[in-house]
Chains A and B, each alone.
Chain A
Amino acid sequence: MDRMMRGINRFIREFKAIVKHPYFGYVFFGMMFLILLLLRNQGWVTISVINTAVIVMIYTVISLGFSLLLGFGGLASLGTAGFVGFGSFLMGYLHGVLNYSLGVTLVLSLSVALAIGLIVGFISLRIEGMYLAIITLGLGEILRQFFISYDTFTGGFSGRSFREFTLFGINFVSGDGKYFNMVYIIVVIMFVLAMIATINIIKSPTGRALLAMKNSDSAAQSMGISLIKYRLLAFVLSTVFALLGGMLYIMHTKFSYAPQWNLSFSLEILAAVIVGGAQSIFGIAIGVFLIFGLKISVLNYIPFFQANPALIVIFNGALIILVVMFYPGGLIRLLQTLKYIVVKRFGLLKQKWRRYRYGEDD
């Protein structure tokens, strides 16, 4: 009996240790998405929910990279769409057309991301603030023009479609949504890995250095933080995340179209990061859901919005304005406030219970 109790205690202790682990939340989040897929395969969840989940996960990966730039580095960049498009076309061209293996494609794409990140990073060393945002906007436009004009690479105006592929020699292609399931699982894995990578970067000296840089360049430099190193690092990381997001995107949708990677996509990613809360990982996921997922998963099914589809756009815009005006720190602040209220209420209840149980203390 004693031994059994000790065993149970130990189990509880270990369980608590697992729950307290910093990665637990992210892995749990990923597991929830996997359970969603299981539910879908049982037919309990509609396909639109699954599509929303994939889109939210892919765009969260991109936004996480962006938040490293904006929330931690304090560098606003509006060229995200170009980088995401680049990733999708690299995947579509190298793997889809030239038949390179996935590993080679990944390595080549990462080296391209490194090169682009370094270029933009060097630009950011000279140009700052709003000027940097607009110059990167120009870079995004250059990339978009490049995609439209260079049609052997991107397919031009007809777009680049992507054929289904096999992984580890197992044939997932044979209908029944097997390919879809595989991509879903890949996306979930990349999503969890991206979140874990981000939390590691944020909590490490690199993240602290980025934060210091955001608050004041000169102060950070005088503390011995190398501006050139961390600016370049921030841009390289952001570009890598964006290119990975693009690759996941073309895997999922099997299509990428040059004119779609325009300014409004970059702005939407920026909006997702700002609305959710630029320094919080879960906040960014919420922001991405609000900007990209709310329409396809919820609003399209409300009869009022079905009758007037124009109001969906207005609703989304008004939501962004209201959130930014009243919660400048992002929606995650709202959740934190709610949590604080709940904890406070719970504490009061606990006190009341104690008073009832043990009587008033004099």
Chain B
Amino acid sequence: MPGIDIAIRQILIVNAILFLLFFVIDIAFFRKKIKRPLYRGRLINALITIGILTMFVASIKVFTWPLLLQIFLLNTVDLCILILATTGVVLIFKTSVTTNFAQGMMATFGAFFATTVVIRLMAKYSGSQTLYLFIGLFSGVLVSFLLGLIIDVGIIRRGRHVSSVGKQMITMGLVMVLMGAIPVIFGSNPIALPAFSIDVEIFNIGEHILVIPVQNLYAIVITLVVLVILFAALRFTKWGLGVRATASSEMVASMMGVNTRAITAMSWAIAGGLGAIAAFFYASSGAQVQVASMVGVQVNAFMAAVLGSFSSFGGPIVGALLINIFSSIAPFYDGTWQVVIVYGIILLIVLAKPLGLFGKKTAKKV
């Protein structure tokens, strides 16, 4: 496509100018003060926002907005998957202070179960496929929920004194156990899962025709419902209050009478359930259920959580949105270096804001 070189040059020049501007202001003005002024952080925020906006504006100029919107609509199912996986990762990080490498495997376990249920049902009865898919989804979520519960009660709870890197290793051991167990239970071949619908919805905005697969609409609706329920629970129920208390300090929370064991167990279970929904949609939108199918999603989920900051629940969702947009636009600039572009941008943003976009600095005792 013509104009790509110009767009890349514009983005690079604008961002380089922003960087230089910040360094000049920082050295000439902020560093001379005794205490770092508050508006230094605001300046960084503003510059990052301008930088990201420049990327969007340049991309829209080159590719025109209907095309970009179309790409975004086609990628909504990936966005839903990423948001669900990220929320699961953040939930576990909040309560157990570790990054759960087994998140993807727990999810895959649920998706395998769901797929098996759907295929058995479809072979036995001839009814509506959508109903069976919903039954499968529900059973998969239930299995992953129970799996998360068992993992926490059996393993993580007993390893509470282990350091957070040690807990990472426990989850890595879990990955290996599940990786060995899945082929034994469900067979070693990847299974195909039918989609909710292979139709597409066509609608017009002005004179532009846009297309969105119905499968994506299903994914969006289910994700929205789940997220609304989850956020309402976090905001209004006792469990949500407990999660927030445990996140700030597990020991203090338990001394204040919060049942941190139950809170942590529920968090693991819910994270498993969220992962299962994500894996289900990943499998049913084209890909097959495989042992390693969620690894890429999981890495992206970690990056999204870091980009948006682990300290809030809303931040990681914005991070997931940004990653999704970056990685859907990046192939148009350069197909082979997509991962490098996306992760490079994230790396630069996190370097500018070490606690993530929405991270709050917590005071630490020395």
Contact = CB atoms under 8 A, between A and B. Distances in A.
Interface residues of B, number: 50
B99 A324 contact: no
A311 B176 CA distance: 10
A274 B181 CA distance: 24
30 contacts: A76-B165, A127-B350, A127-B354, A134-B99, A134-B306, A149-B337, A149-B340, A216-B366, A267-B175, A270-B168, A270-B169, A270-B172, A271-B169, A271-B172, A310-B180, A311-B184, A312-B180, A314-B176, A314-B177, A314-B181, A316-B176, A317-B172, A317-B179, A320-B170, A320-B173, A321-B174, A321-B177, A324-B169, A324-B170, A328-B163
A127 B180 contact: no
A274 B166 contact: yes
A328 B167 CA distance: 10
Interface of A: 70, 76, 123, 126-128, 130-131, 133-135, 137-139, 141-142, 145-146, 149, 216, 218-219, 263, 267, 270-271, 274-275, 308, 310-321, 324-325, 328
Contacts of A267: 101, 172, 175
Interface in B288-320: 295, 299, 302-303, 305-306, 310
Given A141-B343, A219-B366, A321-B155, A263 B174 contact: no
Contacts of B179: 313, 317
Interface in B159-204: 159, 161-166, 168-170, 172-181, 183-184
Q: Which of A146, A311, A315, A328 has the most CB of B within 10 A?
A: A328
A126 to B, nearest CB: 5
B351 A149 contact: no
A191 to B, nearest CB: 24
A142 B343 contact: yes
Given A142-B339, A271-B172, A318-B173, A137 B166 contact: no
Contact of A275 (B169, B176, B354): B169
B165 A274 contact: yes
Contact of B174 (A128, A141, A145, A317): A317
**Which of the listed residues B101, B169, B299, B305 has the most CB atoms from chain A within 10 Å of its own CB?**
B169
A139 B347 contact: yes
A135 B176 contact: no
A131 B349 CA distance: 13
Contacts of A270: 165, 168-169, 172
Contacts of B159: 324-325, 328
Nearest to B97: A130
A31 to B, nearest CB: 32
A274 B346 CA distance: 29
B93 interface: yes
A318 B169 CA distance: 11
A139 B174 CA distance: 24
Nearest to B352: A126
Contacts of B183: 310
Given A138-B299, A313-B176, 20 more contacts: A123-B347, A126-B351, A127-B350, A130-B98, A130-B310, A137-B302, A137-B303, A138-B346, A141-B299, A141-B339, A267-B175, A274-B166, A310-B180, A317-B177, A317-B179, A319-B173, A320-B169, A321-B177, A324-B162, A328-B159
